[in-house]
């Protein structure tokens, strides 16, 4: 133990000697005669910096972090590194570049991000596990925000950037990459979650990210990053650094709502703008305070609240006394069950939301710079940058790691959403423009696109990008990586919004691109199954995941409905169900027209055996009906997901309330699935919302939800009056109520259902109740010598059975029929006995003798029965096929 302590003390003494030898402050007489202190580097300063880098590298092999803790204690960044960088600020010599590069090499490992346990913890601070390390990182970041530090670092790499890619040396590439690592590390250090009151240092540490953005913009660091992003597709360009630029931009945009950035308005008078911001903040605070008061106040106040009272409730022959003031006007359930303690049942914890929007940038200057950066990125970098990163992801480049996928989707979604706001604003500006006929329209610069049309994003937002996002979503759903699924879902939803807006564009090229994407996207049945699956699989995921999935469902149904209405007929490709086929005979090929066969061969070697045809995936085209797809959402899992989000009705934004109201309207009104809402958990939630409705500000979104709840409740009690068992069915969520039990369908509904069933592609669901009256069949004149449909099927199936038995070596055939119907048993037995008399001669080679015997038996059977009885037996055999059990030999009858 003593040896370890002595070793630690020796290491600390060695680090202190190196830090002391780097340099120090010296008094130098200025030109004006005054004496000032200037930092001067020591004689061995460069060697000391390199020795510190070696010590950090050796110290990284263990978890004690002796060297890094010593550097924090000696405050080497503030006392030595920052002054040393500023001393070479205006110098362009090779010695200055060496010192600056040595400082950067030292800062990169000192600010390296902490390792995360899992991908879902990427956006957490790790404050609980490493509070001291994170506090040191914040001190480093605060010290490096000194004016002039980033300008000095940028001057070192300007020379390397000016050189062509082939002429750059290894040192040039290393210096550029180290600077990008340093910028990434600084943006990854989170701000301090300051309490309501704090010290001056705590206040500064809680606003470091916006201060860092201001320093990046004013020191041209952001121009440097945007230059790398815009030159991604050029040969010998900057694509090797795209991942670092992506992570840096992601850290700057994290927790930021693009709408807040777009709503910033630049004013010439900065003081006036600050006063407007303060007034807006005060207004929001007052609104929140009033809403909180309404929530805390359970019942409306009255002028008699200061008086007490005793209230007696006569409940089922028992009296209950309450001394509470609210008992005078409260509900009886509150008086009876108000003091009861609810049973706390253990539930599985939900995953934590990691990307909740926060007020990261509150300074007007930071918002102004961020808005300028966003506009510049969309105009000059979006297509080239995201297209290049997508290519790297598709070929699974070594520089791409798992954490880069959610960063890519979040960043693309952020800029697509911001582009949508800018495009709408540009359309409004263009509509409000007024130019006189003789007035010259000001010419626009060809390099600028102030209209923010869709050509700025159409190149990167192509079919390949959409399908890759869909494929990644499917993979991560199977892996249950819910954070990545949430990022992909958010991005895909914004893609659908942008593509839908492109379809309404005035330019034909934009409409063609949108049509191409929608036509291929809505052609696959597997895509629709995926969208439904990610909604039904919600259990204990975070509320952020639930919000993303519900918003995607809302946008998907809206866009799909709008798309299919513009088509006369729409087809989708569906996997054909695999059926066991009989082995084909030699020399025969089984070919089916209109079926696409897709075969995947892992090896290109021609000597490999051919793939078994039974394992090939077959597809078929079927007509798409939006009502059929909408019917798939009639499920208790879907209602469970929506009601889980509706439990947060106190804090939900209006857009989520609109999504929930629209889905409820689809299921109850359009799909006639009232039974999903007439269950006890849902009705209890609806009751709470109605009771608390007076506590909320009456917005349009909440008004629609309240209107639906009242409609659903009113319909329930109207139906329960006709069918009282609904009260019992409300207790069990698995019971599916049938609306025909309490109301008769009208003629229009019957005609609509008949048209729907007569469709070519109609497949009757097993859940439908076939209680409609049978349509009367017209009487047909039958010929005595003509076989009916049943005997024709039996006649032709006999030959197929004969071939099978001959192949198996069997020469006899016996038919066994088990009849369970009570109608016409003697008639059926008589006919079957006649057939059994000739079963020994069915498979004889003499075909004429077989036909004559079969016709004789049938005519004798038919003449012995009246015609109406035969027709009745035939209709009953088709209408109630479940009552007649046939063995495998009679499946064709």
DSSP string covering 20-42: HHHEEEEEEE-TTS-EEEEEEE-
Is 322:311 a contact under the CB 8 Å cutoff? yes
- Spatial separation of the C-alpha atoms in residues 573 and 654, rounded to whole Å: 37
Give the model confidence (pLDDT) of 634-682 as tens digits: 999 999 999 999 999 988 999 999 999 999 999 999 988 888 999 999 9
Rounded to an integer, the average pLDDT of 300-322 is 67
**Is the pLDDT confidence value at 605 over 50?**
no
- Concatenating the DSSP letter of every residue in 360-390 gives ---SHHHHHHHHHHHHHHHHHTHHHHHHHHH
Residue 236 pLDDT grade (very low, low, confident, very high; cuts 50, 70, 90): low
pLDDT of residue 275: 73
Is 732:712 a contact under the CB 8 Å cutoff? no
Rounded to an integer, the average pLDDT of 156-166 is 88
- Spatial separation of the C-alpha atoms in residues 495 and 148, rounded to whole Å: 41
Give the model confidence (pLDDT) of 748-791 as tens digits: 767 777 776 666 555 555 444 444 444 444 444 444 444 455 55
- Spatial separation of the C-alpha atoms in residues 221 and 241, rounded to whole Å: 15
The structure tokens listed for 693 are 């409705």
Rounded to an integer, the average pLDDT of 134-144 is 90
The DSSP H or E segment spanning 332 is helix 332-337
What residues have CB less than 8 Å from 269, skipping those under 6 apart?
none
E-assigned strands of 772-826? 817-819
Top pLDDT among 123 and 297 is at 297
SS3 524: strand
Query: Helices (H), strands (E): how many in the chain?
Result: 36, 9
- Spatial separation of the C-alpha atoms in residues 774 and 751, rounded to whole Å: 13
The DSSP H or E segment spanning 574 is strand 571-575
Top pLDDT among 192 and 225 is at 225
- Concatenating the DSSP letter of every residue in 624-655 gives --HHHHHHTT-SHHHHHHHHHHHTTTTT--HH
User: Minimal CA–CA distance to 139: which of 179, 79, 54, 196?
Assistant: 79
**Is the pLDDT confidence value at 369 over 80?**
yes
User: What does the mean pLDDT of the chain come to?
Assistant: 77
Planar angle of CA 858, 864, 869, nearest 5 degrees: 95
Phi-psi region of 126 (alpha: psi -120 to 50; beta: other; left: phi over 0): left
pLDDT of residue 267: 66
Give the model confidence (pLDDT) of 265-284 as tens digits: 876 556 666 677 677 777 77
Rounded to an integer, the average pLDDT of 120-133 is 58
Top pLDDT among 257 and 342 is at 257
- Spatial separation of the C-alpha atoms in residues 594 and 638, rounded to whole Å: 35
237 CB-contact burial (10 Å; exposed 0-12 / middle 13-18 / buried 19+): middle
**Is the pLDDT confidence value at 867 over 60?**
no
Max distance between CA atoms of the chain, in angstroms, equals 136
The DSSP H or E segment spanning 313 is strand 311-315
The DSSP bridge partners found for residue 315 are: 318
What residues have CB less than 8 Å from 188, skipping those under 6 apart?
113, 247, 251
- Within a 10 A sphere around the Cβ of 559, how many other Cβ atoms? 19
Is 136:208 a contact under the CB 8 Å cutoff? no
pLDDT of residue 89: 87
R_g of the chain, CA atoms, integer Å: 38
- Spatial separation of the C-alpha atoms in residues 366 and 210, rounded to whole Å: 6
Sign, Cα dihedral of 679, 684, 690, 695: negative
The structure tokens listed for 514 are 């949108």
Top pLDDT among 25 and 335 is at 25
- Concatenating the DSSP letter of every residue in 129-178 gives T-HHHHHHHHHHHHHHTSTTHHHHHHHHHHHHHHS-GGG--HHHHHHHHH
**Is the pLDDT confidence value at 889 over 70?**
no
**Is the pLDDT confidence value at 888 over 70?**
no
- Concatenating the DSSP letter of every residue in 835-886 gives HHTTGGGTT-S-HHHHHHHHHHHHHHHHHTS-HHHHHHHHHHHHHTGGGEEE
DSSP 8-class letter at 234: S
The structure tokens listed for 772 are 């409609």
């Amino acid at each position: 133990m003593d040896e370890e302590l002595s070793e630690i003390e020796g290491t600390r003494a060695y680090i202190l000697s190196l830090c002391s030898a780097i340099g120090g402050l010296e008094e130098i007489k200025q030109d004006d005669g005054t004496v000032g202190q200037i930092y001067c580097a020591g004689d061995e300063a460069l060697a000391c910096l390199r020795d510190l880098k070696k010590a950090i590298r050796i110290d990284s092999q263990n978890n004690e972090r002796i060297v890094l803790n010593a550097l924090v204690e000696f405050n080497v960044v503030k006392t030595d590194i920052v002054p040393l960088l500023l001393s070479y600020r205006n110098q362009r010599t090779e010695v200055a570049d060496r010192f600056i590069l040595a400082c950067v090499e030292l800062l990169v490992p000192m600010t390296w991000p902490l390792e995360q346990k899992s991908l879902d913890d990427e956006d957490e601070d790790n404050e609980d596990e490493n509070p001291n390390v994170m506090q040191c990182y914040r001190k480093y970041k605060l010290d490096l925000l000194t004016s002039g530090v980033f300008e000095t670092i940028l001057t070192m790499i300007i020379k390397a950037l000016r050189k062509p890619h082939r002429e750059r040396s290894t040192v040039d590439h290393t210096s550029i990459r180290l600077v990008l690592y340093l910028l990434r590390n600084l943006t990854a250090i989170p701000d301090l979650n300051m309490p309501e009151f704090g010290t001056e240092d705590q206040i500064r540490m809680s606003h470091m990210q916006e201060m860092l953005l201001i320093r990046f913009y004013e020191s041209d660091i952001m121009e440097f990053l945007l230059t790398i992003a815009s030159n991604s597709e050029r040969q010998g360009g900057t694509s090797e650094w795209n991942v670092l630029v992506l992570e840096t931009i992601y850290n700057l945009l994290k927790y930021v709502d693009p709408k807040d950035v777009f709503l910033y308005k630049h004013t010439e008078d900065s003081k006036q703008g600050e006063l407007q911001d303060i007034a807006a903040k005060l207004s929001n605070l007052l609104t929140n305070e009033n809403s909180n008061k309404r929530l805390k106040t359970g019942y409306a106040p009255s002028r008699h609240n200061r008086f007490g009272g005793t209230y007696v409730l006569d409940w089922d022959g028992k009296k209950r006394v309450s001394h509470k003031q609210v008992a005078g006007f409260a509900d009886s359930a509150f008086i009876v069950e108000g003091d009861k303690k609810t049973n706390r049942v253990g539930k599985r914890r939900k995953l934590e939301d990691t990307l909740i929007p926060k007020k990261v940038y509150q300074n007007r200057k930071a918002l102004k710079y961020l808005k300028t950066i966003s506009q510049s990125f969309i105009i000059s970098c979006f297509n080239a940058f995201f297209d290049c990163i997508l290519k790297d992801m598709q070929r699974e480049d070594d520089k791409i790691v798992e954490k880069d996928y959610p960063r890519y989707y979040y960043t693309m979604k952020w800029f697509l959403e911001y582009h949508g706001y800018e495009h709408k604003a540009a359309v409004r500006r263009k509509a409000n423009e007024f130019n006189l006929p003789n007035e010259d329209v000001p010419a626009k610069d060809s390099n600028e696109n102030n209209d923010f049309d869709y050509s700025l994003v159409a190149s990167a937002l192509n079919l390949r990008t959409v399908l890759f996002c869909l494929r990644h979503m499917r993979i991560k759903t199977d892996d249950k990586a819910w954070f990545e699924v949430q990022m992909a879902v958010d991005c895909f939803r914004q893609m659908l919004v942008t593509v839908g807006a492109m379809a309404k564009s005035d330019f034909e090229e934009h409409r063609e691109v949108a049509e191409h994407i929608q036509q291929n996207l809505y052609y696959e049945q597997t895509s629709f199954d995926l969208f439904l699956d990610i909604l039904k699989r919600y259990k204990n995921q975070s509320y952020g995941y639930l919000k993303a999935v519900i918003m995607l469902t809302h946008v998907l149904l809206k866009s799909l409905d709008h798309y299919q209405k513009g088509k006369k007929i729409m087809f989708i490709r569906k996997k054909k169900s695999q059926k066991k086929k009989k082995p084909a005979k030699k020399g025969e090929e089984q070919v089916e027209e209109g079926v696409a066969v897709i075969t995947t061969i892992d090896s290109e070697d021609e000597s490999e055996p051919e793939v078994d045809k039974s394992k090939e995936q077959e597809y078929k085209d079927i007509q798409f009906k939006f009502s059929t797809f909408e019917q798939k959402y009639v499920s208790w899992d879907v209602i469970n997901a929506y009601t889980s989000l509706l439990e947060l009705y106190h804090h939900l934004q209006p857009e989520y309330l609109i999504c929930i109201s629209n889905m409820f309207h689809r299921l109850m009104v359009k799909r006639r699935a009232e039974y999903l809402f007439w269950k006890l958990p849902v009705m209890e939630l609806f009751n709470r919302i109605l009771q608390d409705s007076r506590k909320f500000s009456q917005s349009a979104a909440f008004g629609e939800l309240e209107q639906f709840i009242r409609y659903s409740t009113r319909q329930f009690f109207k139906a329960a009056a006709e069918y009282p068992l609904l009260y019992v069915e409300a207790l069990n969520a698995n019971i599916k109520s049938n609306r025909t039990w309490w109301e008769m369908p009208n003629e229009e509904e019957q005609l609509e259902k008949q048209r729907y069933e007569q469709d070519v592609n109609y497949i009757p669901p097993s859940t439908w109740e076939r209680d409609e009256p049978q349509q009367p069949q017209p009487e047909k004149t039958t010929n005595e010598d003509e076989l009916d449909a049943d005997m024709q099927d039996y006649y032709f199936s006999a030959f197929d059975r004969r071939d099978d038995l001959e192949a198996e070596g069997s020469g006899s055939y016996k038919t066994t029929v088990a009849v369970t119907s009570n109608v016409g048993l003697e008639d059926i037995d008589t006919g079957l006995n006649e057939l059994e008399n000739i079963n020994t001669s069915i498979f004889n080679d003499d075909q004429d003798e077989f036909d004559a015997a079969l016709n004789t038996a049938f005519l004798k059977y038919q003449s012995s029965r009246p015609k109406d009885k035969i027709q009745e037996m035939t209709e009953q055999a088709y209408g109630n096929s479940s009552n007649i059990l046939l063995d495998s030999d009679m499946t064709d009858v």
